[in-house]
Amino acid sequence: MEPIKDWNFFLQNSRRDFDATLHQKFPTNISVKDFEFRRTLGTGSFGRVKLVKWLKNDKYYAMKILEKGKVVKARQLEHTLNEKKILQSIKFPFIVHMEFGFMNNDYVFFVMPFVCGGELFSHIRRFGKFEESQTKFYAGQAILALEYLHYLDIVYRDLKPENILITENGYLKLTDLGFCKRISGRTWTLCGTPEYLAPEVILSKGYGKSVDWWSMGVLIFEMSSGRAPFTASDPMKIYEKIVAGKYKMESYFSPDLRDLLRHLLQTDLTRRFGNLKKGVNDIKEHRFFQTLDWIGLVNQKIAAPFIPRIKGEGDPGNFEVYPEEPIKESPVEQYPKEFSEF
């Protein structure tokens, strides 16, 4: 990717590039026989992500494998089609993209670059918490990624440490775009992770891009303290705390961090940063980010505070170990009508 010199010019061109590739269909000349399957990197309700080697070029990729039957029965077909369209059209350094995809009778396969540093969640747990300078480095990238998505009218809706990967050079990539949706106004779908849901989602009021800035506040809080601000054993108790905006700052938070969090974890949408007249610039120009070089950051010119340990190409050592499941192949194509748009 060419270095970004003018941020606004980059965003304007991004919309054109995104729209140009949005409706491409999967190629028909690729199959599972073209890959060597390695370890599972993660699992979800409808499938899993596996480390694979493409035999055509001997390169390693992360392959998201979604079982058609589970997607349809869980009424996640629209989400899956949205994810496919967005993954194939995204071109941003801090968001994963799809190199290509294909289907067989039972599954949909998204083939993406292998991000070898593991989940941000694992590194927060290992360090306990991040220093504020480190939080600033990671939060800055997530903010730019959300600004890029929002410029394309996409709301992310699932920002959390488990959905952020660390690259080999210590930078970030947002992953798992299954809840992404392109909207022009408001949407009402209840989706996301309980601890990260914005009040307006819980209250079914209809919501827009403001939910991502609330989640950004939760993420910054968790990176800085090692815990989420709203926790309880019962999800309903979590929701009550979120709607009331009840959380306790850590005593060691700096005044600038405290002020930023108050403006992001703001239940009043007319006062939440990211949702006001200046948009994301209220966040980027806040005192907490005063020393951050945003253009240097997006061009990855700033030294990362942490470089993950990687033994070599295709090393899955930064990911947890999961039980493996075989990939089945039915003789008859499953749900051909439902997946015709892929």
| pLDDT tens-digit map of 129-185 | 999 999 999 999 999 999 999 999 999 999 999 999 999 999 999 999 989 999 988
Looking at the fold, whether 262 and 319 belong to one and the same domain comes out as no
**Cα 305 to Cα 328: distance, rounded to the nearest angstrom:** 43
Give me the phi and psi of 12, to 5 degrees please.
-60, -45
Residues whose CB is less than 8 angstroms from the CB of residue 78 and which lie 6 or more positions away in sequence, other chains included:
none
Q: Which of 158, 176, 212, 282 is catalytic?
A: 158
Looking at the fold, whether 166 and 263 belong to one and the same domain comes out as yes
| pLDDT tens-digit map of 212-231 | 999 999 999 999 999 999 99
Looking at the fold, whether 79 and 107 belong to one and the same domain comes out as yes
Residue 18 lies in a domain: no
The number of folded domains in the chain is: 2
Residue 91 lies in a domain: yes
158 catalytic per annotation? yes
Looking at the fold, whether 214 and 250 belong to one and the same domain comes out as yes
| pLDDT tens-digit map of 87-104 | 999 999 999 999 999 999
**Cα 194 to Cα 312: distance, rounded to the nearest angstrom:** 36
Residue 329 lies in a domain: yes
CA torsion, ordered 106, 110, 114, 120, to nearest 10 deg = -100
Residue 201 lies in a domain: yes
Residue 57 lies in a domain: yes
Looking at the fold, whether 144 and 287 belong to one and the same domain comes out as yes
Identify the CATH number of the domain in which residue 74 sits: 3.30.200.20
Q: Which domain holds residue 51?
A: 25-116+311-337
Place of tokens 């993954």: 87
Residue 16 lies in a domain: no
**330 against 244, higher pLDDT:** 244
Place of tokens 């010199």: 5
| pLDDT tens-digit map of 44-98 | 878 899 999 999 999 999 999 999 999 999 999 988 999 999 999 999 999 999 9
**Cα 217 to Cα 279: distance, rounded to the nearest angstrom:** 15
Residue 199 lies in a domain: yes
Looking at the fold, whether 73 and 213 belong to one and the same domain comes out as no
Residue 303 lies in a domain: no
Q: What is the pLDDT of residue 47?
A: 86
CB 11 within 8 A of CB 26: no
